[in-house]
Amino acid sequence: MKRKYKITRSKPQTPTSSLPDIIFMLLFFFMTAMTLKTKPVDLEQHLPQAEELKKSENKNLTTYIHIGAPKDKLKYGDEPLIQLDGHLASPEDVGPYILKKQARIPEYQIPQMTVALKVDDDAAMGLVCDVQQELRKVNARKIIYVAAPKGKTSDQARRKSL
Amino acid sequence: MHFFICNCGFFHFKDYGTNQTSVIMKIQRVETDREINSGSMADIAFLLLIFFLMTTTIAVDKGLAIMLPPKTDQKPVAPIAGRNLFKVYINSSDRLMAEGEVLANAGELKPMIQTFVLNRGASAELSDNPEKAVVSLKTDRGTSYKAYISALDEIQGAYYEIYGERIGLTAAGYRQLDLKDPEQRALHEKARAGIPMNISIAEPTR
């Protein structure tokens, strides 16, 4: 009698009602801390280092252009290439691509549109200049050369060194 | 709480008669079903969530911002007097030249540009005034992007240092001014007044 009584009462229960909250919290945390990477970049992206960095102002108004030597050298050769939204392109494709992006944002925000150039530091200036000429033609003049802070290597750089 | 009640029940069971025990057991069953009050758990979770929201920074791309010139056919280019133009040239083997002088590294550019911009007509070879002063950066098609960025970084750094000095800040302090805050924006405008950052990115030689 005594023993039975004891067993029935000792039922240690951990409160589980807060588990959904914890899970949601984790979910939100990862949602915010993660940067969405929509398309993989097939180019080398070892960004140069610089000191006088400024933040790009508005992420929604930023268009990325990647330039660098392809990772898959057997398939694409080792000359630097341009990548726009996941597909490789030539300098002539930059203009239409920017116009397409401009069409998607409200007209009054177009002057604030920034083009972020993510260029591998081994790439030659020739291709970068070609892209800049194309950008001037479509009046997308606000550009930012994405760089890593001095002393710190960018994520891509770290990955490359591993 | 749990144990306390258990012990309590056990004690009662031992001391009093069977009649008494059954009454206590009834109470006990009600007591054991109780859990720790978890109503505040959600609040704690939200608190943590907000904490993480505030402290984590989503990777923001940083870089060197410049403004490209408008299309060449739009405006006739006014000639710039030789003394108002500071020429920086990087050749295809990444060697740096400024005003006809070969430089060992890009770090030497900063003081040169600062004396050039803030000359205010003192030396006949340097700029008339900061408004007219233009720094021209020219590359070859074969110049590496790395060399170009390091030179551009120094040129912009020279200007930021001038701006920072005018309002009693360092170059980094100037760069971090929040333009959305009217007070800081006024400071930003004050620093820039009369000294525009005239950096010309020349088209590369073929």
Residue A60, classed as helix, strand or coil, is helix
CB-CB under 8 Å, A15 with B35:
yes
CB contact set of A140 (below 8 Å; sequence gap of 6+): A63, A98, A102, A113, A115
Instruction: Give the pLDDT confidence score for residue B165 in this predicted structure.
Output: 87
Whose CA is closest to A107, among A70, A153, A61? A61
**Integer Cα distance of B22 and B13 in angstroms:** 9
CB-CB under 8 Å, B160 with A54:
no
Instruction: Give the pLDDT confidence score for residue A36 in this predicted structure.
Output: 55
Q: Does A146 touch chain B (CB under 8 A)?
A: yes
Residue B13 has pLDDT above 50, yes or no: no
Tell me the average pLDDT of chain A. 79
CB-CB under 8 Å, B45 with A24:
yes
Instruction: Give the pLDDT confidence score for residue B2 in this predicted structure.
Output: 40
Instruction: Give the pLDDT confidence score for residue B5 in this predicted structure.
Output: 46
**Integer Cα distance of B185 and B165 in angstroms:** 16
Residue B55 has pLDDT above 70, yes or no: no
- Measure CA of the first residue to CA of the last residue in chain A; give whole Å: 67
User: Which residue among B6, B141, B144 places its CB closest to the CB of A10?
Assistant: B6
Instruction: Give the pLDDT confidence score for residue A97 in this predicted structure.
Output: 92
Establish how many alpha carbons lie within 13 A of residue B15's alpha carbon, considering only the half-sphere containing its beta carbon: 7
Give the strand pairing for B96-98 and A81-84: unpaired
**Integer Cα distance of A112 and B67 in angstroms:** 11
Which residues 10-39 of B have a C-beta within 8 angstroms of A? 10, 13, 25, 28, 32, 35-36, 38
Q: Are B53 and A27 in contact (CB under 8 A)?
A: no
User: Which residue among B42, B64, B171 places its CB closest to the CB of A18?
Assistant: B42
- % of chain A exceeding 70 in pLDDT: 81
pLDDT, tens digit (0-9, with 9 covering 90-100), for B88-122: 999 888 889 888 888 888 888 888 888 888 888 78
Q: Does A25 touch chain B (CB under 8 A)?
A: yes
Neighboring chain A residues of B150 at a CB cutoff of 8 Å:
48, 50
Q: How many CB atoms lie within 10 A of CB B97?
A: 14
Q: Does A51 touch chain B (CB under 8 A)?
A: yes
Residue B14 has pLDDT above 50, yes or no: no
Q: Does B119 touch chain A (CB under 8 A)?
A: no
Residue B19 has pLDDT above 80, yes or no: no
B171 versus B46: which is more confidently predicted? B171
Residue B134 has pLDDT above 50, yes or no: yes
Instruction: Give the pLDDT confidence score for residue A11 in this predicted structure.
Output: 66
Alpha-carbon distances, residue A116 vs A24, A46, A141, A150, B103 (angstroms): 34, 15, 11, 19, 30
**Integer Cα distance of B148 and B158 in angstroms:** 16
Structure tokens of A5?
């009584």
B175 versus B79: which is more confidently predicted? B175
Q: Which of B34, B56, B146, B203 to mutate to test the interface with A (most CBs of A within 10 A)?
A: B146
Tell me the average pLDDT of chain B. 76
Residue B12 has pLDDT above 50, yes or no: no
**Integer Cα distance of B64 and B84 in angstroms:** 24
Instruction: Give the pLDDT confidence score for residue A96 in this predicted structure.
Output: 92
Label residue A161 by pLDDT band (50, 70, 90): very low
Residue with tokens 């000792």: A10
Residues in a beta bridge with B98? B88, B101
pLDDT, tens digit (0-9, with 9 covering 90-100), for B151-175: 999 999 888 888 888 888 888 888 8
Which whole number is the average pLDDT over A58-67?
Answer: 84
**Integer Cα distance of A132 and B72 in angstroms:** 12
Whose CA is closest to A86, among A73, A102, A97? A97
Label residue B128 by pLDDT band (50, 70, 90): confident
Instruction: Give the pLDDT confidence score for residue B53 in this predicted structure.
Output: 67
Global confidence as pTM:
0.70
Which whole number is the average pLDDT over B162-190?
Answer: 85
**A96 CA to centre of own chain:** 21
- % of chain A exceeding 90 in pLDDT: 11
DSSP state of A13: -
Q: Which residue of B has its CA nearest to A13?
A: B35
CB-CB under 8 Å, B46 with A51:
no
Q: Are A44 and A72 in contact (CB under 8 A)?
A: no
| Å between A74 CA and nearest CA of chain B | 23
Instruction: Give the pLDDT confidence score for residue A158 in this predicted structure.
Output: 46
Instruction: Give the pLDDT confidence score for residue B199 in this predicted structure.
Output: 85
Label residue A6 by pLDDT band (50, 70, 90): low
Instruction: Give the pLDDT confidence score for residue B80 in this predicted structure.
Output: 76
DSSP state of A127: H
Structure tokens of B57?
């920074």
User: Which residue among A54, A125, A147 places its CB closest to the CB of B175?
Assistant: A54
Label residue B82 by pLDDT band (50, 70, 90): confident
Q: Does B70 touch chain A (CB under 8 A)?
A: yes
Instruction: Give the pLDDT confidence score for residue A38 in this predicted structure.
Output: 58
Whose CA is closest to B132, among B65, B87, B85, B97? B85
Whose CA is closest to B171, among B197, B149, B148, B147? B197
Residue B73 has pLDDT above 80, yes or no: no
Label residue A41 by pLDDT band (50, 70, 90): confident
Residue A88 has pLDDT above 50, yes or no: yes
- % of chain B exceeding 70 in pLDDT: 71
**Integer Cα distance of B77 and B88 in angstroms:** 19
Structure tokens of B150?
């390091």
Q: Which residue of B has its CA nearest to A4?
A: B10
- Residue type for B141, please? R
Which whole number is the average pLDDT over B133-146?
Answer: 88
